[in-house]
A and B are shown apart, each in its own frame.
Chain A
Amino acid sequence: MSMEQKELTQTPLLKIWVPGMGSSLGQRRGSSRPQFTNCPTMIVMVGLPARGKTYISKKLTRYLNWIGVPTQVFNLGQYRREVVQTYKNYEFFRPDNEEAMKIRRACASNALKDIANYFTKEQGQVAVFDATNTTRERRGVIISFAKEKGYKVFFIESVCDDPEIIEENIMQVKLSSPDYENYDKEEALVDFLKRIDCYKMSYVPLDEEKDRHLSFIKIFNVGSRYLVNRVQDHIQSRIVYYLMNIHVTPRSIYLSRHGESELNLLGRIGGDTGLSSQGQKYAKALAEFIRGQSIKDLKVWTSHMKRTIQTAEALGVPYEQWKALNEIDAGVCEELTYEEIQATHPEEFALRDQDKYRYRYPKGESYEDLVHRLEPVIMELERQENVLVICHQAVMRCLLAYFLDKTADDLPYLKCPLHTVLKLTPLAYGCKVESFYLNIQAVNTHRDRPTNVNVARKPEEALQTVPEHL
């Protein structure tokens, strides 16, 4: 029996080869998205209050979304705050508080319902259930729920006995919680510690023996030790790897583009030219700025392209070249101006404006490809402490989107002007951003999305938002 071989066509936006006229996507046998998992996964946090569960939940969710796995956090505390409008004190969490117990169980049930909805109606792939889940009974409920629905379950337990770490946690994120709006710091701390005590009596940690059939990772003392049990699939393996690489040591990440390049001046994209005279001035200014910041053990990373390396050279310190940090490959459009692209590839130019994140240049890359390429860079940035990354516009947008939790739609339009350093410092659940313009003039290379993205548009409409150049 011979298989009839359908002709293949290349989809215009993603540049993916598909059988037939490209319309019947449903019949496609070839998936071009990496298959992380076949069925939805529930990640279930476990641990006493102030053990970093919400920190881990948010960070993990940010990472998974960035690499293209639709993920959402379901924080039980938030459900509770919606039901019990005003928090009085720790007594709500006393194990003998029947009424509160009822409310808390109802909240958990609602959260699970929302999770089911997220998977079935919203195409979610991973749901992070952020709650204490400290009893075997509660975990049993979750496991039954998941089994019934056909979801995989992966537990993440954070165990910590260091009172300093716990107090630091409380200071960083609990005192500013809506629960403690009307408390002063001292009182809040006292109340929260009593809250933790309410859970301690009934806390049953995941057990190597009794829970040996479950899939989980136990994190001890903020990462000095891990116990990993029964990793089932690719996504769980990636999650474990990620969790084992993150840390909470204070540090800052500096992101900057190379100094203005010769091609920047001419309004041309891509290529591998050197710095313009303004660009060279910037490199010197960057060196001064870095010295002024007095950064401990700073690592400096560049791409393999001349302009980032030239910029780094001015710093007079060792640096590491990463090919993965190279600018997006514009394929056949390399070294063209936007005007030339419009003239020679008007359809491509329009498609790019329609979906700038997924659009792949002919014989080139898309932002989506870039994110995939940059994943090892992000992983290493997580491992490192103080780092200065000297890179390129599209690359910097991708890295920034990771740190600031920007969506795929926002990412390609993030503003990353030349001659500006962004200093990112992790803070509470997010990232503080400070922007330093080093006062060296440069061209603007940011092209906004024009109003008309239709293939039939006029050249003027397409070129409306092209920034000025020589």
Chain B
Amino acid sequence: MSSTEDVIMAIPRELTQNPLRKIWMPCKNGLPEKHISQKRVCMTNCPTLIVTVGLPARGKTYISKKLTRYLNWIGVPTKEFNVGQYRRECVKIYKSFEFFRPDNEEGLKIRKQCALAALNDVRQYLSVEGGQVAVFDATNTTRERRATIVRFAEQNGYKVFFVESVCEDPNVIAENIVQVKLGSPDYTDCNTEEAIQDFMKRIKCYENSYQPLDENLDRELSYIKIMNVGQRYLVNRVLDHIQSRIVYYLMNIHITPRSIYLCRHGESDFNVRGCIGGDTGLSPRGKEFAQCLGRFIQDQNIKDLKVWTSQMKRTIQTAEALGVPYEQWKALNEIDAGVCEEMMYEEIQEHYPLEFALRDQDKYRYRYPKGESYEDLVQRLEPVIMELERQENVLVICHQAVMRCLLAYFLDKSAEELPYLKCPLHTVLKLTPVAYGCKVESIYLNVEAVNTHRDKPENVDISRLPEEALLTVPAHY
């Protein structure tokens, strides 16, 4: 080995633990150095463009929105770009299906412009704003249009993954139209009959030129073809981790009507004393709630209800009162507060004032020493969400932080909002998927309980006074 070709012996860099996230990072002169990659879900080097394909009323927008919500929840910055919306901004008033006739030159021009405008915004999002996944929601029913998109992606260094929805079941299509098309801005001035008729004609405009993704002609593309709302899937050339996760997710969702009930355990002994964490049993009021919950569930008359709890005593005690089988999930355990377990907020302020302040500065990413963060919780809960998607009627009896994470998934709340979502004791949230979102009904079962919700105080600075820190601590015994 020549002397000019010295083997570079890496001098191991000093490590420092980031005070907020408790991540060990290399540092120089006490300052964190270039960021070493944390395990991010999206283990891909380049952004991904997801492109929907399919005739109108095949669930493309439903899938786009749902997938975007899921990816954002697991921490992959994702945004959807709906070409229909661009068209509505361009053509202020929708007259009729004639706009979509394949021989309508002017219509075609406008529609092409809209698609290009959307792609432009995609480029802005992925290359400039740091987005990781963009969902391009349009019919994209011709090979020509798809080729344009593939060229665009190649030029910009994006991976492309197509999601095609194929459905011939007239019942499903009719239901789609009723659920989401009638309420569209396009049809504000039509009655139901007229709207349906017009929309059917609109679909017809696309049918003749529709070139579905083809096993042979499109064998070099990466895609999933979803047939008849998930009865069958054709998956071609999955390139990387994120595409694999997207396929898995799409194969687990369904549209069978059902409801998900979320609630916390009944009030616990620790709740009453204002202590966080731990593994105590229910207070007398908590036990009363459990009984009420049992009656409530019976009255709801839910078909084939599954009941899930954590592995902590208080949720199990609550479930026991229902008198039905239940499943214990360790993944549903409350956030681990590490060294702060079983302390009251007053004690945390006294013993760990710095930690207490850091938590208020970034409650989502803050990790308790030897404990977890909300961000960790989300990762832990992902298999629960996946199974919730597979299931139908489920009652999840869990904990405050856990319930916030699950709720944020269903209601599309950001990481900033998530840790402050209100999930009071003795209140059941009934979530029912409707159109593109989720209807929430909140049912308070009329059994008194302490409030455990601590708002973000005004002063989050580490130099703040104890009173300022404890300003928003809820009352306890």
Contacts and interface: CB of A to CB of B under 8 A. Distances in A.
B77 interface: no
Contacts of A240: 251
Interface residues of B, number: 63
B241 A29 contact: no
Interface stretch (A306-314, A343-351, A460-468): A306-314
Interface string A204-233: 000010001000000000001111111101
A224 B221 CA distance: 11
A413 B24 CA distance: 30
Interface string A296-331: 000001001110011001111011111110000000
Interface in B209-258: 215, 219, 231-238, 241, 244, 247-248, 251-252
Contact of B24 (A230, A301, A306): A306
Task: Please indicate which of the listed interface residues B252, B287, B324 has the most CB atoms of chain A within 10 Å of its own CB.
Answer: B252
Interface residues of A, number: 63
A304 B22 CA distance: 9
Given A17-B312, A313-B26, A5 B232 contact: no
Contact of B320 (A5, A306, A319): A5
A312 B8 CA distance: 15
A3 B294 contact: yes
Given A320-B38, A372-B330, A314 B12 contact: yes
Contacts, number: 159
A1 to B, nearest CB: 9
A306 B328 CA distance: 33
Nearest to A6: B320
Given A30-B325, A212-B232, A320 B39 contact: yes
Interface stretch (A84-92, A175-183, A280-288): A280-288
A32 interface: yes
B252 A237 contact: yes
B36 interface: yes
B390 interface: yes
Contacts of B15: 274, 306, 309-310, 313
Given A5-B321, A8-B313, A287-B10, 12 more contacts: A8-B317, A30-B325, A30-B327, A31-B326, A31-B328, A212-B231, A226-B236, A244-B235, A291-B7, A301-B39, A316-B10, A319-B36
B37 A304 contact: no
A434 interface: no
A5 B38 contact: no
Interface in B313-359: 313, 316-317, 319-330, 341
B161 to A, nearest CB: 14
Interface string A138-163: 00000000000000000000000000
B254 to A, nearest CB: 10
A187 interface: no
Contacts of B9: 284, 287
Interface of A: 2-3, 5-6, 8, 10, 15-17, 19, 29-32, 34-35, 208, 212, 224-231, 233-234, 237, 240-241, 244-245, 272, 274, 280, 283-284, 287, 291, 301, 304-306, 309-310, 313-316, 318-324, 334, 363, 369, 372, 380, 383
Interface string B1-32: 00000011110110101000011101000000
A225 B234 CA distance: 7
Contacts of A304: 22-24
Nearest to B232: A229
Given A8-B281, A16-B311, A16-B328, A226 B235 contact: yes
Task: Please indicate which of the listed interface residues B13, B24, B309, B323 has the most CB atoms of chain A within 10 Å of its own CB.
Answer: B24
A159 to B, nearest CB: 12
B466 to A, nearest CB: 29
Contacts of A316: 8, 10
Contacts of A17: 311-313, 316-317, 328
A230 B232 contact: yes
A29 B325 contact: yes
Given A313-B12, A321-B39, A29 B215 contact: no
